[in-house]
């Protein structure tokens, strides 16, 4: 079987204070800038607005998790009014996703400035929700052409979101290790991402304002995003998409609670991935990830997220009917059992 590895060309600016280069980067692409950002990124957005002056033709600060098409429609009205020739997104995966959705409708070039570890900024993956159904497409043309990593923008990321977002990134790396199209490149990216997260997350949790520790974790998010971009995701991401879209759940929290359960389910059928993760964790990787997930002070089960237990078998049946490639085959009963464990 031939595996095709797509590496979209992207400029990556990385380093403390790199956000001060956004205006200059935008100037390389056009004269009229439209900015989307999560509210958490308002200070950075206002700083950029000051640097852009009249080149800023519109700003939208209402991105929503899972990119609902109705929110995109609202943003598109502002985009139409401003007639930009470049998009800048500052914030978590919600902001980056909205810019991709706008790019999908306009063909505009994007500059992504992530402030979490979701990794969306280096993928051509766009998930959109409508009427409770999440549809995902992959198109290299949707990959932002420029990414700016400034770890200073992550210093205020709360401990809870730091933990769950880093586990979201770890899920990309773990699934890359057992992906059917894993290569030496994706294995190397995944190994390094997993190492940086397993060793780096505790350091950031101990001192969230340590710039060097934050920078290491941000680089883990970058590498994990590249894993997501380069390999086919399996059961973990399929469950996250199905649950997140159906019940409108917080993205990173959901990934964090699913990951140890999916690892426990899959790793016996994925010995190479299990070996690499054990080497990286220095112990049982499922236990290591479970411990990191357990430290979260917010919701740690589907029950705590308010998901009705009675609806889990229907989700399991839907996922089992159209499975993503996965190292361990499963049927609806296997998944119903797994989801029930995540519920309770
Ligand atoms: P998010 O963007 O929804 O942000 C979560 C919350 O954290 C928001 O309230 C936000 O304002 C706040 N926040 C973000 N950065 C912050 C910071 N530095 N300091 C303080 N607060 C901050 O969450 P997310 O987990 O980054 O992204 C989730 C979204 O990204 C989902 O829609 C998911 O589908 C998408 N996603 C897509 C891909 C892809 O490749 N397409 C990959 C991962 C995630």
118 CA: nearest ligand 1 atom: 43
CB burial of residue 133 (10 Å; 0-12, 13-18, 19+)? exposed
Nearest by Cα to 118 from 94, 151, 150, 101: 94
Nearest by Cα to 104 from 133, 77, 134, 144: 144
CB 259 within 8 A of CB 290: no
Of 5 and 284, the structure prediction assigns the larger pLDDT to 284
Which segments of 120-183 does DSSP mark as H helices, in order?
159-177
Cα(228)–Cα(223) distance, integer angstroms: 9
The predicted-structure confidence for 177-204, as pLDDT tens digits, reads as follows 999 999 999 999 999 999 999 999 999 9
Ligand 1 pocket test: which of 71, 89, 94, 141 has the largest number of ligand atoms within 8 Å of its C-beta? 94
Residue 8 has pLDDT above 80, yes or no: no
If you average pLDDT over residues 202-216, what whole number do you get? 97
Does the pTM of the predicted model rise above 0.85?
A: yes
123 CA: nearest ligand 1 atom: 40
If you average pLDDT over residues 81-104, what whole number do you get? 98
Atom 25 of ligand 1, nearest CA residue: 252
For the structural domain made of 159-343, what CATH number should be given?
Answer: 1.20.1090.10
Ligand 1 pocket test: which of 161, 209, 223 has the largest number of ligand atoms within 8 Å of its C-beta? 161
39 CA: nearest ligand 1 atom: 11
For the structural domain made of 11-154, what CATH number should be given?
Answer: 3.40.50.1970
Element at 69 (helix H, strand E):
helix 69-82
Strands (E), 92-245: 110-114, 125-130, 133-138, 146-149
Tokens of 306: 């308010």
Sign of the Cα torsion 198, 258, 237, 248 reads negative
Q: How confident is the model at residue 6 (pLDDT cuts 50, 70, 90)?
A: confident
Ligand 1 pocket test: which of 39, 42, 118 has the largest number of ligand atoms within 8 Å of its C-beta? 118
Cα(63)–Cα(75) distance, integer angstroms: 9
Q: How confident is the model at residue 10 (pLDDT cuts 50, 70, 90)?
A: confident
CB 268 within 8 A of CB 308: no
Atom 33 of ligand 1, nearest CA residue: 66
Q: What angle in degrees, to the nearest 10, is found between the helix axes of 332-343 and 312-321?
A: 140
CA 110–ligand 1 middle distance (angstroms): 17
The predicted-structure confidence for 273-326, as pLDDT tens digits, reads as follows 999 999 999 999 999 999 999 999 999 999 999 999 999 999 999 999 999 999
Element at 46 (helix H, strand E):
helix 42-52
Sheet of strand 146-149: strand arrangement: 11-14, 146-149, 110-114, 86-91, 33-37, 56-60
CA 272–ligand 1 middle distance (angstroms): 31
The predicted-structure confidence for 119-148, as pLDDT tens digits, reads as follows 999 999 999 999 877 888 999 999 999 999
Atom 36 of ligand 1, nearest CA residue: 93
Kindly list the domain boundaries of the chain, sorted by start residue. 11-154, 159-343
Q: How confident is the model at residue 266 (pLDDT cuts 50, 70, 90)?
A: very high
DSSP 8-class letter at 68: B
Encode 85-104 in three state secondary structure: CEEEEEECHHHHHHHHHHHH
Cα(101)–Cα(95) distance, integer angstroms: 10
SS3 297: coil
CB burial of residue 112 (10 Å; 0-12, 13-18, 19+)? buried
Cα(241)–Cα(263) distance, integer angstroms: 17
Ligand 1 pocket test: which of 89, 90, 93, 220 has the largest number of ligand atoms within 8 Å of its C-beta? 93
CA 248–ligand 1 middle distance (angstroms): 14
If you average pLDDT over residues 80-98, what whole number do you get? 98
Q: How confident is the model at residue 7 (pLDDT cuts 50, 70, 90)?
A: confident
């Amino acid at each position: 079987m031939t595996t095709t590895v797509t590496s979209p060309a992207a400029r990556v600016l990385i380093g403390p204070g790199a956000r001060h280069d956004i205006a200059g980067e935008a100037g390389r692409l056009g004269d009229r800038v439209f900015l989307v950002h999560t509210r958490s990124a308002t200070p950075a957005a206002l700083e950029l607005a000051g640097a852009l002056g009249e080149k800023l033709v519109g700003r939208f600060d209402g991105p929503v998790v899972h990119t609902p098409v109705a929110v995109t429609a609202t943003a598109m009205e502002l985009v139409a009014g401003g007639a930009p020739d470049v998009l800048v997104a500052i914030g978590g995966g919600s902001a980056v996703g909205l810019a991709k959705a706008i790019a999908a409708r306009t063909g505009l070039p994007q500059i992504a400035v992530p402030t979490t570890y979701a990794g969306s900024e280096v993928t051509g993956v766009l998930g959109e929700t409508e009427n409770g159904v999440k549809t995902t497409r992959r198109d290299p043309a949707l990959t932002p052409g420029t990414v700016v990593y400034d770890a200073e923008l992550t210093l205020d990321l709360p401990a809870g979101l730091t933990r769950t977002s880093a586990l979201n990134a770890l899920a990309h790396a773990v699934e890359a290790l057992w992906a059917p199209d894993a290569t030496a490149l994706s294995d190397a990216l995944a190994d390094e991402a997993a190492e940086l997260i397993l060793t780096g997350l505790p350091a950031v949790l101990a001192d969230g304002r340590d710039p060097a520790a934050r920078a290491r974790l941000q680089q883990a998010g970058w590498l994990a995003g590249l894993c997501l971009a380069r390999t086919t995701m399996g059961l973990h991401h399929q469950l996250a998409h199905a649950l997140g879209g159906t019940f409108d759940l917080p993205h990173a929290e959901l990934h964090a609670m699913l990951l140890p359960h999916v690892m426990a389910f899959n790793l016996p059928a994925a010995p190479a991935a299990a070996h690499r993760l054990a080497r990286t964790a220095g112990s049982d990787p499922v236990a290591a990830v479970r411990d990191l997930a357990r430290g979260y002070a917010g919701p740690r089960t589907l029950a705590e997220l308010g998901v009705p237990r009675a609806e889990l078998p229907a989700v399991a049946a839907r996922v089992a009917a159209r499975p993503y490639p996965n190292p361990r085959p499963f049927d609806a009963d296997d998944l119903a059992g797994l989801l029930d464990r995540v519920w309770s």
